[in-house]
Structure 1
Amino acid sequence: MTDADFLTATRTFYDAVADDYAEHFRDPLAALPLDRAVLTAYAELVGEGGKVADLGCGPGRVTGYLAARGLSVYGLDLSESMLAIARRENPAIRFEQGSMLDLDGHADGSLDGVVSYYSSIHTPVEELPALFAEFHRVLTPGGHLLLAFQAGDEPRRHDRPWGHPVALDFLRRRPETMAGLLTSAGFDVRVRTVREPDPDRGENVRQACLIARKP
């Protein structure tokens, strides 16, 4: 699969399911105190007023959460349908369409923080080094990356969600593998969290989060 193939597949999938997705995950952090704690700690590490990009922001719920904690954050996503929801729900926040693999609009070292909250899960493994190199490039020295993903080895294919005629693979990763890739990209991995799945939320695998700093 080429870059254009997986980006097109991801965009098509989320354009189709955006309204149902946003309704189903209306308040995704409400019942997840540990996840909220990680995001709050991340906001404190970046510092009030820090310039942050929420890459693969979807309907903007995490973007809004971080903005409420004092960060100067904007959202980027492939899906215009997702962005329409994000803009409607967060009119004070800037949202743009684009790919997190191509951040040419950002100069080297121009951001204090980068967030990839379950948004690298559609990126083929062979593209991860380039993705993390791009994250590293746009961060200022001392800037922080937050990377969240499902832990595991086997992908899960979502086929015809909510009856829509689309399908997409959700890729799972080993935390140690992701940490190694971040280290190879020049990051200093500072925090690793892995929590058990919450069956009440339909989770069946562990949820992982890494916070890494650009030296």
Structure 2
Amino acid sequence: MTLSDRYRTAWDGFWEQSSGETGEAFWDADPALTARRDLDHLAPYADPALPVADLGCGNGTQTRYLATRFARAVGVDLSAAAVAHARRADPDGVAAYEQLDLADPAQVGALHERLGDTNVYMRAVLHQSDPEDRPAVAAATARLVGEYGRALVLEPTGEAKEVIASIAAQPGGPSPKLRRVKEHDLRPGEVAEGEVAALLRAAGLSILDEGTTALAMSETRPDGSPVELPARWFVAGRP
């Protein structure tokens, strides 16, 4: 199984028409507002001596921060253009970046063979995946975690769509960043209440902790504050 052609085409198109600069994409917020804060949830459970895999790394903004907190960081993305941006933005090789289809068990298994058990950081990937692909993405997370790694999975809730709709309805219409999301058929999807936990459990993981949070975007409101999407976080691993 591999991710849908629609999904691959949409993301390749987005990244091919991007500069790759930090903050250009709607979601590409400063790590001080994202990964650094998110890792407070993962730190009590994860061994920092293990590597960390950033699933859906895009241009690598968060991956480069994760490399400061773990022994090794690898960002993976379906889009070759995204991986190319990430590599260009990291000339010193602070982290590594690979093109990878999370729905392809052979590719995921090969990455696990290279890394061993690894921690996983996955921010707002499942809701962008087509519903039929989500079990495979969860299974990839479980394969990479293995026996000793831990996963931090963050996903917007249904209320996030209301926040996005309110931004689109502001005077002047959607911002350039939000228009690009729509132009490239990137579909913010609703992950139903309880769906993330159910997917992770079905993949063989236990939910070790969970809670509510807000995902900071690079988009800002008129007062300069970042747009934040209501979300939930989950720490998962083998019991």
TM-score (norm 1): 0.80
What amino acid is aligned across from residue 28 of structure 1 in structure 2? D
The 2-side partners of 1:193 and 1:115 are apart by: 16
What secondary structure is seen at the aligned counterpart in 2 of 1:75?
Answer: strand
**Deviation at residue 104 of structure 1 after TM alignment:** 3.8
1:1-215 alignment runs, 5 A limit: 3-19=4-20, 22-23=23-24, 27-31=29-33, 36-43=36-43, 45-90=45-90, 91-92=92-93, 93-102=95-104, 103-107=108-112, 110-152=116-158, 161-162=176-177, 165-195=183-213, 200-203=225-228, 205-215=229-239
| Count of aligned positions | 211
Please say if residues 47 and 71 of structure 1, whose CA atoms lie closer than 8 Å, have aligned partners that are also in contact.
Answer: no
1:95 to 1:169, Cα distance in 2 relative to 1, 3 A: same
1:121 to 1:26, Cα distance in 2 relative to 1, 3 A: closer
Q: Which has the higher contact order (CA 8 A, sep 6+)?
A: 2
Structure ranking higher in strand proportion: 1
What amino acid is aligned across from residue 202 of structure 1 in structure 2? V
What amino acid is aligned across from residue 128 of structure 1 in structure 2? R
Gaps of 5+ in 1: none
1:37 to 1:107, Cα distance in 2 relative to 1, 3 A: closer
**Deviation at residue 129 of structure 1 after TM alignment:** 1.4
The 2-side partners of 1:62 and 1:30 are apart by: 9
Gaps of 5+ in 2: 169-173
Please say if residues 117 and 148 of structure 2, whose CA atoms lie closer than 8 Å, have aligned partners that are also in contact.
Answer: no
Q: Which residue of 1 aligns with 2:171?
A: none
RMSD (Å), alpha carbons:
3.1
159-168 vs 74-83, which deviates more?
159-168
1:26 to 1:7, Cα distance in 2 relative to 1, 3 A: closer
TM-score (norm 2): 0.73
**Deviation at residue 75 of structure 1 after TM alignment:** 0.7
The 2-side partners of 1:10 and 1:88 are apart by: 18
- How many percent of aligned residue pairs carry the same amino acid? 24
What amino acid is aligned across from residue 46 of structure 1 in structure 2? A
